[in-house]
């Protein structure tokens, strides 16, 4: 848990230290109560322990950003990241992985390779409870055991323990809502993690081999009409390279797909679905999913569809519903999100920061838009009397959608405010800068609507999307390794095709 004073190199007796150094100590220390009461508003914390629950975009990027701040030897925090998975999942690129365009280590590096250094600790565990006022987290470690033949087993061994914190970051993401909708027996696969992507990829590989070997039809059903559902349907359809015996169906409750997408992306997504011959079932919902069939309830009543693989992409539930928060006064929405201030911390518990899917964040939104300004003298602008440029707009505060882009920017703000909190400096409010949206539409195809209403589709959008995500890879070392491998692949692929 908290760091020992001996690690600082100090050898003073604790009585002298407490008398001479009015520095607030960690919550484990016997001096913490006195320092919190008398000095927490004026002096920094000594060797604080930051516990981050969840290693997604919000949690992992917060930890990595913290490493960039210049703490003193005494204020350098210990950063513990807790996640039940051993690998970080760059979820927007899971479609590229499933399509065999990217490798597993490109999109799912191990936390141990990302969180390096003496200030980091990664624990693979499930969080069982969080005592907010008591500043403790109870976890159940996930470790592997060996069976009698001394071969690795995937069965976990329970190892429950408790750790204290000085600052807490909750970024535990979402879990699938499939069980709530269809029951525990539903034979469908969500796409919420790297292990889900692995299972979907393995199933698609088997179905493709079946189609090629037997010429018999196979059926894939994707549930949902949002961004992820359309990307998943396009991924599955393009995986079979136009084989007419592979049929992908998309079932969604709305009148149209991508109803919350930007207009250009919505049209590009609809066109991709048509080109890939995805069968669509609008105004419909799946009410049952067995291993080989799904039951669809729609405008024309109930219908049974054959399904060799059913993929659930109809959204998720904030994981706070499965995370017992005790001894707290947090405000939690009916959807299970924790309401935070414009500084991204909980007002009643200022040492608790929340971001990502589990946070109800209301913030102003910055965006660059095209503008027409008076002509200034060049020939092109004089002909129309106006010149085209771009300006930044700031909308009133609005509730933000939970996306990877939002979580990454929130992580920057949380890291900055954690540093300010430790150093007893003013916190800054969060503003979201809307960089646009990007969709994967199958192999070598994508669409994007970006800053200044720039829209691209096809291979250009595919390249731009891949480049943009490369720039947002977790660490510079990982960026360099992935970029080098992509470069090797781009050279090797044309040679292999000769």
pLDDT at 143: 77
Instruction: Tell me the angle at which helices 404-422 and 57-66 cross, rounded to the nearest 10 degrees.
Output: 40
State the first-to-last Cα distance of the chain, in angstroms, to the nearest integer: 58
How much is the pLDDT for 392? 82
Residue 23: is its pLDDT beyond 80?
Answer: no
CA 279, CA 457: separation in Å to the nearest integer?
22
pLDDT at 413: 98
Average pLDDT estimate for 114-139: 96
Percentage, residues of the chain above pLDDT 70: 82
In the block, residue with structure tokens 């927490």: 40
Phi/psi of residue 133, each to 5°?
Answer: -70, -35
Calculate the average pLDDT of the chain.
86
**In percent, how much of the chain has pLDDT > 90?**
73
Burial 345-354 (b: 16+ CB within 10 A, else e): bbeebebbbb
Helix (H, G, I), strand (E, B) or coil at 267: helix
Instruction: Give the residue with greater pLDDT, 383 vs 178.
Output: 178
- Cα 202 to chain centroid distance, Å, stands at 23
CA distances from 321 to 191, 289, 325, 416 (A): 19, 24, 9, 28
Place 390 in a pLDDT band, splitting at 50, 70 and 90: low
Closest CA to 163 of 85, 87, 55, 53: 53
How sure is the predictor about 453, in pLDDT bands with cuts at 50, 70 and 90? confident
b/e 392-415 (16+ beta carbons within 10 angstroms → b):
eeeeebeebebbbbbbbbbbebbb
**Residue 356 corresponds to which tokens in the numbers above?**
């990502």
Measured CA to CA in angstroms, residue 239 lies from 54, 209, 231, 234, 416 at distances of 32, 12, 12, 8, 42
38-50 confidence digits (pLDDT tens): 444 568 889 999 9
Nearest to 414 by CA among 56, 149, 117, 29: 56
Biggest alpha carbon distance in the chain? 83
Asked which of 178-192, 292-306, 323-337 is least confident by mean pLDDT, the reply is: 178-192
Closest to 440 measured CA to CA, from 422, 467, 458, 418? 458
The reported pLDDT for the residue numbered 39 is 46
- Render pLDDT for 77-100 as a digit per residue (tens, 0 to 9): 999 999 999 999 999 999 999 999
Residues with Cβ within 8 Å of 79's Cβ and at least 6 positions away in sequence, in order, are: 50, 52, 63, 66, 67, 115, 119, 120, 121
Residue 25 has pLDDT above 50, yes or no: no
**pLDDT computed for residue 41 by the predictor:** 53
Q: Mean per-residue pLDDT for 164-181?
A: 92
Q: What is the mean pLDDT of residues 340-351?
A: 98
User: Measured between alpha carbons, how far is 456 from 445 in angstroms, rounded to an integer?
Assistant: 10
The 3 state secondary structure assigned to 383-425 is HHCEEEEEEEEEEEEEECCCCHHHHHHHHHHHHHHHHHHHCCC
Averaged pLDDT for residues 199-226: 97
Contact 130, 168 (CB under 8 A): yes
Q: What's the whole-number mean pLDDT along residues 141-146?
A: 67
pLDDT at 430 over 90: yes
pLDDT value of residue 229: 98
Helix axes 227-239, 263-275, angle to 10 degrees: 30
d(CA 19, CA 42) in angstroms, rounded, equals: 16
Selected residue with higher pLDDT from 371 and 496 = 371
The whole-model pTM stands at 0.85
* Average pLDDT, integer, range 141-156: 54
- What's the pLDDT tens digit per position in 251-289? 999 999 999 999 999 999 999 999 999 999 999 999 999
Higher-pLDDT residue of 34 and 67 is: 67
**The predicted structure's pLDDT at residue 145:** 46
Q: How confident is the model at residue 334 (pLDDT cuts 50, 70, 90)?
A: very high
Q: Measured between alpha carbons, how far is 467 from 470 in angstroms, rounded to an integer?
A: 5
488 or 288: which carries more pLDDT confidence? Answer: 288
Q: Would you say residue 11 has pLDDT above 50?
A: no
CA distance 357 to 316: 9
Per the CB < 8 A criterion, the answer to whether 222 and 249 are in contact is yes
């Amino acid at each position: 848990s908290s760091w020992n004073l001996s690690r600082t190199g100090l050898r003073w007796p604790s009585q002298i230290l407490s008398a001479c150094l009015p520095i607030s100590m960690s919550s484990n220390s016997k001096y913490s109560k006195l320092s919190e009461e008398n000095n927490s508003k004026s002096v920094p914390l000594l060797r604080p322990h930051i516990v981050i629950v969840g290693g997604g975009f919000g949690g992992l990027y917060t930890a990595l950003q913290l490493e960039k701040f210049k703490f003193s030897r005494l204020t350098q925090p210990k950063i513990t990241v807790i996640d039940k998975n051993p690998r970080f999942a760059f979820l927007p690129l899971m479609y590229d992985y499933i399509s065999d365009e990217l490798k597993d280590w490109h999109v799912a590096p191990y936390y141990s390779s990302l969180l390096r250094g003496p200030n980091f600790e990664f624990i693979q565990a499930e969080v069982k409870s969080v005592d907010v006022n008591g500043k403790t987290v109870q976890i159940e470690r996930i470790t592997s055991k060996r069976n009698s033949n001394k071969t690795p087993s995937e069965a976990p061994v329970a190892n429950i323990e408790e750790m204290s914190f000085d600052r807490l970051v909750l970024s535990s993401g979402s879990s699938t809502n499939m069980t709530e909708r269809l029951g525990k027996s539903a034979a469908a696969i969500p796409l919420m993690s790297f292990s889900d992507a692995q299972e979907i990829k393995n199933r698609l590989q088997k179905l493709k081999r079946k189609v090629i070997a037997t010429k018999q039809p196979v059926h894939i059903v994707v549930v949902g009409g949002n961004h992820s559902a359309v990307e998943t349907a396009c991924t599955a359809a393009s995986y079979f390279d136009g084989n007419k015996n592979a049929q992908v169906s998309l079932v969604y409750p709305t009148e149209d797909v991508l109803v919350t997408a930007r207009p250009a992306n919505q049209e590009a997504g609809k066109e991709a679905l048509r080109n890939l011959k995805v069968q669509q079932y609008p105004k419909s919902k799946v009410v049952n999913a067995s291993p080989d069939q799904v039951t669809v309830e729609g405008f024309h009543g109930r219908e049974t569809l054959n399904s060799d693989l059913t993929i659930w992409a109809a959204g998720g539930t904030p994981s706070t519903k499965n995370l017992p928060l005790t001894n707290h006064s947090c405000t939690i929405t009916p959807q299970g999100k924790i309401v935070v201030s414009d500084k991204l911390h909980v007002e009643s518990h200022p040492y608790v920061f929340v971001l990502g899917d589990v946070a109800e964040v209301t913030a102003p939104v910055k965006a660059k838009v095209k503008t027409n300004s008076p002509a200034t003298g060049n020939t092109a602008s004089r002909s129309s009397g106006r010149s085209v440029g771009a300006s930044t707009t700031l909308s009133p505060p609005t509730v933000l959608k939970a996306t990877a882009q939002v979580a990454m920017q929130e992580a920057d703000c949380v890291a900055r405010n954690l540093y300010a909190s430790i150093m007893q400096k003013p916190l800054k409010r969060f503003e979201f800068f809307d960089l646009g949206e990007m969709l994967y539409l199958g192999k070598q195809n994508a669409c994007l609507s970006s800053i200044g209403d720039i829209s691209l589709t096809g291979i250009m959008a595919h390249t731009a999307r891949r480049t943009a995500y490369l720039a947002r890879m977790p660490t510079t070392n990982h960026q360099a390794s992935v970029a080098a491998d992509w470069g090797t692949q781009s050279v090797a692929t044309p040679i292999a095709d000769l």
